[in-house]
Amino acid sequence: MTKILEYSYIILFIFLPLTFAGTQSIRGVGRLLCRGKPAQYAELQLINTRGEKDNIPIGDPVFSDPDGYFEISGSMHQFYPIPGGLRVWHECFYDIGIHHDPCKSLLEVEIPIEYSNDSKLPKKTWEAGIIDLEVGVLRQNLERCDKILADDVFSDSDGYFDISGSTTQITNMDVRLTIWHDCFEDERPRGGCKNWLELQIPSLYVNKGPFPMTFLEMGNLDLEKEQKKEHLDKCSG
């Protein structure tokens, strides 16, 4: 009986450290720009780049804020440093004024291996600085050609809008609302261009079934405050 207990203790002490070892993490901060202006609401995802066909997402995706800044982190169970990378899906296209809706352009940035942390909470932070998305789109790499859920609608004479749509999809949808408007920083003519704003719809308001049972009451959207920086698009002139 004593020997059995001794073996049990030995096995426990051998496997207990292994349970808590082997977690690697990455954290990065920076700012996205497109032609000198903030790249708003671009989607970012950390990945393990151990092989072209075996790229593994690390953590959850995030979006850049209205000024183009981002902070992203994630961890995974692995016994060696993560060969990390950052994927950015954005709308800083090389052909200015031509909208590729609903596609996004993809930029991948390699994260130096020394910023892989041997812990669940990253102690070192990769300071990416300014990432100029225009530099990465000399050759267009379109991805994320998402489904358009509804036909275009227009706000009425009082600014009110009502929009809904559906699609067939097994997994939960990642939904965004795109608004093109004429609320510019000043009264200078923009040559037929529209200002572009994209808002993330909380997953709580994604309904199962062809008809929405809950709806998002967005209240008053102050386009001047929401936009902060001009982002021209749909340039028809």
Are 62 and 89 in a shared domain? yes
- From 87, 115, 143, the end of a domain falls on 143
In this predicted structure, what is the pLDDT of residue 33? 93
In CATH, what number is assigned to the domain containing residue 61? 2.60.40.3330
Are 157 and 120 in a shared domain? no
Are 159 and 73 in a shared domain? no
Q: In Å, how far from its chain's centre is CA 207?
A: 22
Kindly report whether the peptide bond that precedes residue 112 is cis, defined as omega within 30 degrees of 0. no
φ and ψ of 165, to 5 deg: -175, 170
φ and ψ of 181, to 5 deg: -150, 175
In this predicted structure, what is the pLDDT of residue 236? 55
Are 203 and 137 in a shared domain? no
In this predicted structure, what is the pLDDT of residue 144? 55
Burial class (CB in 10 A: 0-12, 13-18, 19+), 201: middle
Q: pLDDT tens digits for the chain (237 residues)?
A: 555 444 444 444 444 444 445 788 999 999 999 888 999 888 999 999 875 556 788 988 899 999 999 999 999 887 788 889 999 988 887 655 555 566 788 888 999 999 999 888 999 999 999 999 887 555 556 655 655 666 778 999 999 988 887 776 655 667 778 888 888 777 776 767 777 777 778 878 888 777 778 888 888 888 877 766 666 666 654
The one-letter amino acid code at 60 reads D
Are 113 and 158 in a shared domain? no
Tokens encoding 79: 């016994």
The rounded distance, in Å, linking the Cα atoms of 90 and 135 is 13
Q: Which range marks the domain in which residue 203 is found?
A: 147-237
Q: Report long-range pairs for 118-122 (Cβ below 8 Å, ≥24 apart).
A: 118/23, 118/24, 118/81, 119/23, 119/24, 119/25, 120/23, 120/25, 120/75, 121/25, 121/75, 122/25, 122/26, 122/27, 122/73, 122/75
Task: Tally the residues of the chain.
Answer: 237
62 in Cβ contact with 161 (< 8 Å)? no
- Classify strands 194-200 and 232-233 as parallel, antiparallel or unpaired: antiparallel
The one-letter amino acid code at 202 reads P
Cβ neighbours of 228 (radius 10 Å): 15
- From 84, 119, 143, the end of a domain falls on 143
The rounded distance, in Å, linking the Cα atoms of 170 and 105 is 25
- From 143, 167, 202, the end of a domain falls on 143
8 lies in a domain?
Answer: no
In this predicted structure, what is the pLDDT of residue 17? 45
- Classify strands 84-90 and 176-181 as parallel, antiparallel or unpaired: unpaired
Domains held by the chain: number:
2
